[in-house]
Amino acid sequence: MGNVGPGADSRSLGSIFQKPVTSDLNLCRLLRMRRMRAFVQRASGTVAPLGTLAFWIGMGLAARSYPSEYDWRYMTMSSLVYAERNPSGFLWARGGLFLCGLAGLYWTAELLRGWRRLYIAQRPIGIWILGLGYLCMTCCAVLPEGRFITPRAHDLLALAAFVGISVGLAVLTIKVIARSPYGRKLRGSPRLYAGMLAGFALSPIVLGAVAQAYVSHELPALPWVSLVWRKRGVPVYLSFAFWEWVTCAVFSLYVAVLSRASPPSGRYSSDF
C-alpha cells in the first residue's frame, strides 16, 4: 500500500469538492452566454423596426414644422430634410433618417455575423448591398448638403440609399421565402412566390422611374414636382414624390417582416 498521509487526504477531498464547483461555474457561464446570444438575436429583430418607426416620427414632426402647407403627394422628402426649405423642422427629419440608418446598419451587421458562423466561402452580396443602402441613408442625415463637390451629390446619395435598400430587401426576401418551411408547403416553386414578393418590393421604384420618364417626355414644360402640379390637375400617380413616399411605406413593411423572419442564426442560403 502507498504512503497515505493527512496531506494526501486533504488533496483528495479538495479535488472531490472542486470538480462540482467548477462544473457549476462552467454551466452558469454557458447559460449566461446562451441568454446573451438569444438577447442579441431578439434585439437585432427589434432594432430595425424601431429605427423605421423613428424615421416616420421624425418625418411627421418635420412635416408639422414645415413653414407652409406640406402635401406628401406632390412634395418630395428633400423638402423636409434641407435646412433652407424647412428651417424649423429639418433636424427632426435628419434625426429620423439617422436613427433609421443606424438601426439598419446594426441589423445588417448581425446578419453578417450569423452568415460568417456558417458560410465562410461565399460572399453575402445581398447583405452588403443592404448595408450599403443604410450607410448612404446615414450619410444623408449627417452630411451637410452644401459641402459636396457636385451640387447634386446629396440627391445621388439619397438615390443610392433607395436603390441599395430596395435591392437588399429583394434579395433577402427571395432567400427567406425559398428556405422557409411555409414556402415549401405552397403549390408550385417557392422561388416563384419569392420572386413575386421581391418584385413587389422593387415595384414602387420602377413605377416612379416610369412616371418620371413619362413626364420628361410628354410634359417637358412642367416644373419639378411641387404644389403647382396639384393646381394644374396633374394626376397623383405621375408624381415622383408620391412614389417616393410609397417606396418608404413598402420598405417599412418589408423591414418589419424580414427582421423578424430572418434573425442572425444563419437561416439563409450560402449564396446570399
pLDDT digits (tens, 9 = 90+) for 54-73: 999 999 999 999 999 999 99
Least confident of 117-131, 193-207, 240-254: 117-131
Task: Break the chain down into helix, strand, coil percent, rounded to 5.
Answer: 75, 0, 25
How far, in Å, CA of 219 to CA of 116, rounded? 51
pLDDT of 59 reads: 96
| Distances 76 to 17, 56, 155, 195, 254 between C-alpha atoms, Å | 71, 14, 11, 29, 22
What is the rounded average pLDDT of the residues 32-42? 57
Q: Are 49 and 256 in contact (CB under 8 A)?
A: yes
- The pTM of the full predicted model, rounded to 2 decimals, is 0.77
User: 57: phi > 0 → left, psi -120 to 50 → alpha, else beta; which?
Assistant: alpha
pLDDT category, 173, cuts 50, 70, 90?
A: confident
Cβ neighbours for 104, distance < 8 A, ≥ 6 positions apart: 48, 51, 130, 131, 133, 134, 137, 165, 255
> pLDDT tens digits, residue range 105-140?
999 998 888 777 665 556 778 889 999 999 999 998
Q: Are 262 and 176 in contact (CB under 8 A)?
A: yes
pLDDT category, 218, cuts 50, 70, 90?
A: confident
Element (H, E) at 79: helix 78-81
pLDDT category, 1, cuts 50, 70, 90?
A: very low
As a residue count, the chain comes to: 272
Residue 212: phi, psi to the nearest 5?
-65, -40
| Distances 254 to 27, 136, 215 between C-alpha atoms, Å | 39, 19, 29
The 10 Å CB-count burial string (b at 16+, else e) for 32-53 is eeeeeeeeeeebbbebbbebbb
The 10 Å CB-count burial string (b at 16+, else e) for 67-104 is eeebbbebbbbbbbbbeebbeebbbbbbbbbbbbbbbb
Q: Are 177 and 190 in contact (CB under 8 A)?
A: yes
